[in-house]
Amino acid sequence: MIGLVIILVLAALFFSELLTGGVSTADDGDTLYQVSTIDALQQGVFDGIQPVGEIKEHGDFGIGTFNALEGEMIFLDGIVYQAKSDGSVVVVPDSFTTPYTTVTYFLPDFSNTTTTPMNFSAFSTVMVSDLPTENMVYAVRMHGAFPFLKVRSVPAQQKPYPTLSEAVENQSVFEYTDTTGWVVGTFTPAFFEGINIEGYHLHFISDDRQKGGHILDFSLPSGAVIEYDITPEYTLVLPTSGDFTTVDLSQDMSGQLVGVEH
């Protein structure tokens, strides 16, 4: 079901060394591996096309969703978790499939520290200005205590599948206070529109592995450390059968995506 693989090298060796102070990310094999596109997911291409066991061959860190859009994926330290719409978090077997995911081997290249408390909206604006460049793909990781977290999870959908915007109308939203855990996600540039989510796309899992989901908002204290892994190489794997082959991907879905993600 999966075929065409597109490999993009987003930066030359010199640029990689410039960003990391002389340490080449090419030596780390820094590649973001992605299954399908965000615009396909937005239009209801929810059938899983790649097993979790195969995803693990391309990284130990990432985010995504599962077959029929059931729950949110948090891939941390080589373990794939599913944050379900009933609020539970479970470890999934390798046989589970995903219609959309992004994974990499997380090897931090640099970190930034917050200097003031902020919510997710402020974080998405302020922390961008501290990046070496906005024209690069980064894996993003953070561990800390969060005074407030608002996360969501979407229940499994039934065929004929709705659009993503319609599916999230039935999402479960959970709010947590004084929770310690991990933020896992990506930052992708504006020119990835239609392929991935522009800017920060973050999921959460608590240290006790009892809480998790797609982050809608948070309260981030001053002094929080955000780690970044520069991923100048990018692999996109596209389905060769199923709904992906007939869906119209020529539309501009960016306006709808804003409502879905926040």
pTM for the complete prediction? 0.91
Measured between alpha carbons, how far is 218 from 222 in angstroms, rounded to an integer?
13
Q: Is 56 helix (H, G, I), strand (E, B) or coil?
A: helix
- Residues contacting residue 129 through CB under 8 Å, at least 6 positions apart: none
Domain tally, the chain: 1
CA distances from 200 to 40, 127, 185, 204, 216 (A): 19, 10, 7, 13, 11
Look at residue 113 in the predicted model and tell me its pLDDT: 97
Tokens 């501290």, residue located: 130
Q: Residue 87: which domain range?
A: 2-261
- Per-residue pLDDT tens, the chain, 262 aa: give them: 676 666 665 444 434 444 544 443 444 458 999 999 999 999 999 999 999 999 999 999 999 999 999 999 999 999 999 999 999 999 999 999 999 999 999 999 999 999 999 999 999 999 999 999 999 999 999 999 999 999 999 999 999 999 999 999 999 999 999 999 999 999 999 999 999 999 999 999 999 999 999 999 999 999 999 999 999 999 999 999 999 999 999 988 877 665 566 5
Compute the half-sphere exposure of residue 159: CA atoms within 13 Å on the CB side of its CA.
7
Give the CATH number of the domain where residue 206 resides: 3.30.1330.80
